[in-house]
Amino acid sequence: MSDDLFARTRALFDLPEGVIYLDGNSLGAMPKAARERVRRELDENWGRELIRAWNTAGWIDMPSRIGDRIGALIGAPTGSVMAADSTSVNLYKALNAALRLAGPRKTILSDSGNFPTDLYIAEGLIGALDRGYQLKVVALEEVTEAMDETVAVLMLTEVDYRTGRLHDMAALTAKAKALGIVTIWDLAHSAGALPVDLTGVGADFAVGCGYKYLNGGPGAPAFIYVRPGLQDEVAPVLSGWMGHAAPFEFDLHYRPAPAMHRLRAGTPPVLSMAALEAALTVWDGVDMAVVRARSIALGEAFIQTVESLCRELQLASPRDPERRGSQVSFRFAHGYEVMQALIAEGIIGDFRAPDIMRFGFTPLYLSPGEVEAAARRVAAVINQRLWDQPKFRARNKVT
């Protein structure tokens, strides 16, 4: 049953021969529908309709249409998600709004497993506002304890980009709520990877990425969510014309558009938006719980095979699959060289300094057989110290 489903979704992707792709957590593979859609935008819309396509091809509504498709994957109601800008820029919008809503409190709480851009953006905003805000970054396991009534905003990424470790979003959000802390969740490694229920957990803001598990293409537009009850309280900081109540009236003063529309800033990059919109059609008829079950099965199989064949690696991810996102990471001193050797063979994962090898599992296009084959090669490359052999290095151009 689920095999049928994944055979069907696999056929929706265009994957190169001879490659086992374990890096969908960094850049998702290309859905055929995305390629066809972008070609159509070029040939039929930009090329033939020109400026008229903003209406005739519906370009103007892409950010909200895409937002609704993403919303369906993360437990967000229609009209509560907007596709726009990059994750960094959306986090800036969310954090500025969250600090305003939080009143006089001055602390932004995050953890050292957050993706660095989130921390950088917070630093930039704090510097610009210059009102005594501070960013407090604690270890992953200290977040719960660090929450108290001095904290204005809790800003976390659900899935640690290095290890795949999963925060307990429901419990942390509930505690934050009880303490009057505004919450911002970064779903970069969650959306399309596992079930997310923004409504159920009561998150205030969320942002996330279009180019990882959503397969929207390189640098695809990101998204932003605001809890419906808060949307009309948000005073947009990036108050561009596309977020104006009447952008084509060209008023001299800004009036925020209703609800989420105010979270738009400038003109959206249509070609990249189109790829993302079409990519999201691969989720039609796909149950995220089934994807999650398969992702766990793939990850478990990978760990078991690697560890049964090779004793040198240290699992960097939580061993309990319920505490992991859709990736498995191993620590290894020669991880960089091993990954280069694997990539040279067409087994594509990635490496994060100082010593983490990451392998992402994307059930929509990755089969159990491929995962098994990849695990065997990982073990073999290490056991034979292949990356160290001059002949191998020369043949595979390992540098």
Tell me how many residues contact its own copies (CB under 8 A). Answer: 87
| Least distance from its own copies to the Cβ atom of residue 77, Å | 26
**Distance separating alpha carbons of residues 297 and 310, to the nearest angstrom:** 20
Site for its own copies in 8-47 (CB under 8 A): 14, 16, 19, 21, 23, 26-27, 29-30, 34-35, 38-39, 41-43, 45-47
> Counting contacts by CB under 8 A, is residue 218 touching its own copies?
yes
Helix or strand (DSSP H, E) at 100? helix 87-101
Among 77, 195, 228, 240, binds its own copies (CB under 8 A): 240
**Catalytic: which of 13, 115, 332, 361?**
115
Q: Annotated catalytic, 115? A: yes
> Counting contacts by CB under 8 A, is residue 164 touching its own copies?
no
Instruction: Give the binding range for its own copies (CB under 8 A) out of 167-175, 232-240, 290-298, 377-385.
Output: 232-240
| Least distance from its own copies to the Cβ atom of residue 283, Å | 19
Cα atoms in the Cβ-side hemisphere of radius 13 Å centred on 276: 35
Q: Annotated catalytic, 177? A: no
45: amino acid identity, one letter: N
Site for its own copies in 342-371 (CB under 8 A): 343, 348, 350, 352-353
> Counting contacts by CB under 8 A, is residue 180 touching its own copies?
no
Among 1, 103, 104, 127, binds its own copies (CB under 8 A): 127
**Catalytic: which of 186, 262, 292, 377?**
186
Q: Annotated catalytic, 391? A: no
**CB neighbours of 138 closer than 8 A, spacing ≥ 6?**
109, 110, 111, 112, 146
The position carrying tokens 């249409």 is: 65
> Counting contacts by CB under 8 A, is residue 123 touching its own copies?
yes
Q: Annotated catalytic, 358? A: yes
225: amino acid identity, one letter: Y
Cα atoms in the Cβ-side hemisphere of radius 13 Å centred on 49: 16
Alpha helices in the chain (DSSP H): 2-10, 32-40, 53-56, 62-73, 87-101, 116-129, 143-146, 169-178, 198-201, 228-231, 270-279, 288-309, 335-344, 368-383, 390-395
Q: Annotated catalytic, 48? A: no
> Counting contacts by CB under 8 A, is residue 250 touching its own copies?
yes
Q: 99, 148, 94: which is closest to 126 by C-alpha?
A: 99
Tokens of 148: 């108290």
Q: Residue 148 or residue 251: which is nearer to its own copies going by CB?
A: 251
**Catalytic annotation, residues:** 115, 186, 211-212, 358
